[in-house]
Structure 1
Amino acid sequence: MSTVTAEVGRKGDLLRVSLRIDGWGTAAFGVLMLVAGPWLPGPLGLPASWFVPIGIAMLGGAIALGLISGCPVIPARYARVAVAANAALGVALLPVAFAGVLPLTALGVGVVVLGAAWVLTFAALEYTGIRRATA
């Protein structure tokens, strides 16, 4: 099994820190979806039935990111999965924001675009972290 040396104070710091911040941000978003979901369909234009599944999925992703970042030596394949998942989600969110497939409000479009920017930024940071740690 290939690993990425990502121990504190080493070349893998960017990867570990990126995974942790991504995990905490994902958890916060998941909690927001679960707690504020009843009040968000009107302002965002998302169907009310989406908030609980999105919140649960985000909390699951946050747990996975936390577990990966907590490994003493981060397995490269897990880090690559985090990069791929972030990149795929970011690419998928952009058409949702602009294609009119959902009745999003202007605020809803902004939230979806912000979500895409978040995951694409972390895909890039984590990818760079993997490259630095394996260099």
Structure 2
Amino acid sequence: MTHAPPTTGTAPPPPDAARFLRTVLRVDALSTAVTGLVLVAAAGPLGSATGMPVAFAVAFGVFQIGGAVALALIAGPPVIPPALVRAVVAVNGTCAVACAAVAFGGFLPLTGFGVVFMLIGALVVAVYAALEYTGLRRAAPADLRASHRAG
């Protein structure tokens, strides 16, 4: 009977751990960009359907487009800095809470569809935050070692 040699804790996690995080960040970037573009391009009709003022929809869309660019840049390098992923998780969590607050807070004259639209947005962003947090926990040890070796 053969036994595997004992591990010393220095072996990196499987390559799919970092790949999972990178994929989640890229999908988040893509969906955020699409949502931002829709908010900007269709601010009028979307505003009519949701009750969202056009200026709010455009500003929210521009914010999302900027966020999408940031996400794509974070996902790009060979080693994804864990601090940036923690920031993404925090921003996504904050955005999820903000969307829910807008849905229920009476800050905007939202229609029923507008409330559902904001709550779906809150749910989607919360799911991305959870997936990115999971990816960070899986990939961070390898990234930290890679960063340490490179520095």
TM-score normalised per structure 1:
0.90
Deviations 1:79-98, CA, capped at 9 Å, x for gaps: 11110000011012112111
Percent identity, please: 42
The answer to whether structure 1 residue 78 and structure 2 residue 78 are counterparts is no
Name which one, 1 or 2, has greater alpha-carbon Rg.
2
Give 1:134 shift.
2.8
Name the CA distance, whole Å, in 2 between partners of 1:16 and 1:116. Answer: 22
Structure 1 residue aligned with 2:125: 119
The answer to whether structure 1 residue 55 and structure 2 residue 61 are counterparts is yes
Give 1:23 shift.
0.3
Letter in 2 for 1:106: G
Contact 2:21 2:135 in 1 (8 A): yes
The answer to whether structure 1 residue 104 and structure 2 residue 110 are counterparts is yes
Structure 2 residue aligned with 1:95: 101
The answer to whether structure 1 residue 27 and structure 2 residue 33 are counterparts is yes
Structure 1 residue aligned with 2:52: 46
Give 1:37 shift.
0.7
Unaligned runs of 5+ in 1: none
Give 1:50 shift.
1.1
Determine helix, strand or coil for the equivalent of 2:42: helix
| Cα RMSD, aligned residues only | 1.7
Give 1:99 shift.
2.4
Name the CA distance, whole Å, in 1 between partners of 2:118 and 2:65. Answer: 18
Which structure ranks higher in relative contact order (CA pairs < 8 Å, sequence separation ≥ 6)?
1
Letter in 2 for 1:118: V
Number of residue-to-residue matches in the alignment:
130
Deviations 1:19-74, CA, capped at 9 Å, x for gaps: 00000000000110111112121110011111221111111000000011111100
Give 1:119 shift.
0.7
TM-score normalised per structure 2:
0.81
